[in-house]
Amino acid sequence: MKTTLGSLAVGLIFLGLWQAICSGGLVSPLLLPSPLDTGRYLVDSIREGLLFSALAITLGRLVIGYALGLALGWLMGLLLSVSALARGTLGLAALGLQTLPSVCWAPLAILWFGQTETAMYFVVIMGSTWAMAMATENAVRSVPPIYIKAARVMGSRGGHTWRKVILPAALPGMLAGAKLGWAFAWRSLMAAEIYVTIIKRFGLGQLLHFGRELNAMDQVAAVMLVIIAVGLAADRLVFIPVERQLRRTRGL
């Protein structure tokens, strides 16, 4: 309670300083919008429905692209974990591609798919899938061999061992990969939305992009705040509860 109040107080002081700098005319409003202007933009765009529709469109893209990236990465990870040939070829490629910042896929995506939804999905998939693939491979390969031996002694074989032993044992590692993949997916989608200037179906990235084109700094700041809020919400509402549950059942 005390810390909450403290945080609140510090936040208010920060906002007050920010407002004071803007009101005092120290900085041009073209460069730094005041918190009041930013708040006003947020309220207005919510009232017009613009913000929520952009948010919904962005989240829709994110869910589809991320799900495809996860599924593809998971399958590649399983393949990597069982095949040395795959590790020597696809594994090296995955390692290289993972280091490639996902925004670098945007020009290629636009040339291949044009200014389309597909181009954005492509960037999100390319951004998130490699992390998932490598985490899955690592998680499966580090399942303690004694679990597999114990299962075999009890009569478990092949598919049963995979379903009932290897995958559950690898779950924490795969979850870590999914979380990393999420972070990459979110960054990729923002890059893609800023690059792919689709005329209909505005997402948050496009709002940000057109905010810059229109020199609407309040819009730019407000959209950035929303993007931060989405990232925080995903962490707090999805990943942290799942991780906590996993820790509780397994005593990690």
Partner 1 sequence: MEGLGKTFPGPKGGRPVQALREVSFTVAAGEYVCLLGRSGCGKSTLLAIVAGLLAPDEGRCYCGDERITGPDRHRMLMFQEPALFPWLNVLDNVLFGLSFVDNLTPGEKRNRAEHFLELVGLADCLNFRIHELSGGMKQRVALARALAPDPDILLMDEPFSALDAMTREQLYEDLQKIWQQTHKTVLMVTHNVREAVCLGTRVLALERPGRIVADHAVTLPYPRGMNDVALAETAAHISGFLRQSEENGGQA
Does position 156 bind partner 1 by CB under 8 A? yes
Residue from 164, 212, 236, 244 in contact with partner 1 (CB under 8 A) = 164
* Closest by Cα among 29, 167, 192 to 102: 192
Per CB under 8 A, does 101 bind partner 1?
no
182 with 239: CB under 8 angstroms?
yes
Among positions 147, 224, 225, 230, the unique one binding partner 1 when judged by CB under 8 A: 147
Q: Which is nearer to partner 1, 107 or 168 (CB)?
A: 168
Q: Does 163 bind partner 1 (CB under 8 A)?
A: no
* 1 vs 153, beta carbon nearer partner 1: 153
Q: Binders of partner 1: how many residues, by CB under 8 A?
A: 19
113 binding partner 1? (CB under 8 A): no
Site for partner 1 contains 80 (CB under 8 A): no
CB closer to partner 1 out of 25 and 155? 155
Ramachandran angles phi, psi of 160, nearest 5°: -65, -45
Cβ 55 vs Cβ 202: under 8 Å: no
Residue 114 region by backbone torsions, left for phi larger than 0, else alpha for psi between -120 and 50, else beta: left
Q: Is 70 in the site for partner 1 (CB under 8 A)?
A: no
- Is there binding between residue 146 and partner 1 (CB under 8 A)? yes
Among the listed residues 82, 171, 237, 242, the single contact to partner 1 using CB under 8 A: 171
Q: Among 60-68, 152-160, 210-218, 235-243, which window interacts with partner 1 (CB under 8 A)?
A: 152-160
The smaller minimum CB distance to partner 1, of residues 65 and 173, is found at: 173
Instruction: Decide: is 168 part of the binding site for partner 1 (CB under 8 A).
Output: yes
Return the range that interacts with partner 1 (CB under 8 A); candidates 79-87, 163-171, 203-211, 233-241. Answer: 163-171
Determine the distance from the C-alpha atom of residue 35 to the mean position of all C-alpha atoms in its chain, rounded to a whole number.
27
Q: Does 165 bind partner 1 (CB under 8 A)?
A: yes
212 binds partner 1 per the rule CB under 8 A: no
Q: Which amino acid is at 228?
A: I
d(CA 193, CA 210): 11
Q: How many CB atoms lie within 10 A of CB 18?
A: 16
Which tokens is 76 given?
A: 């590649």
Q: Token digits for 66?
A: 């991320």
169 lies in the site for partner 1, by CB under 8 A: yes
CA dihedral 168, 62, 186, 44 (to 10 degrees): -140
Question: How far is residue 245's CA from residue 174's CA, in Å, rounded to a whole number?
Answer: 15
In angstroms, what is the minimal distance from the CB of 144 to partner 1? 8
Helix, strand, coil shares of the chain, percent, nearest 5, are 85, 0, 15
Round to whole Å and give the CA distance between 181 and 227. Answer: 17
Binding residues (CB under 8 A) for partner 1: these are 146-147, 149-156, 160, 164-165, 168-169, 171, 249-251
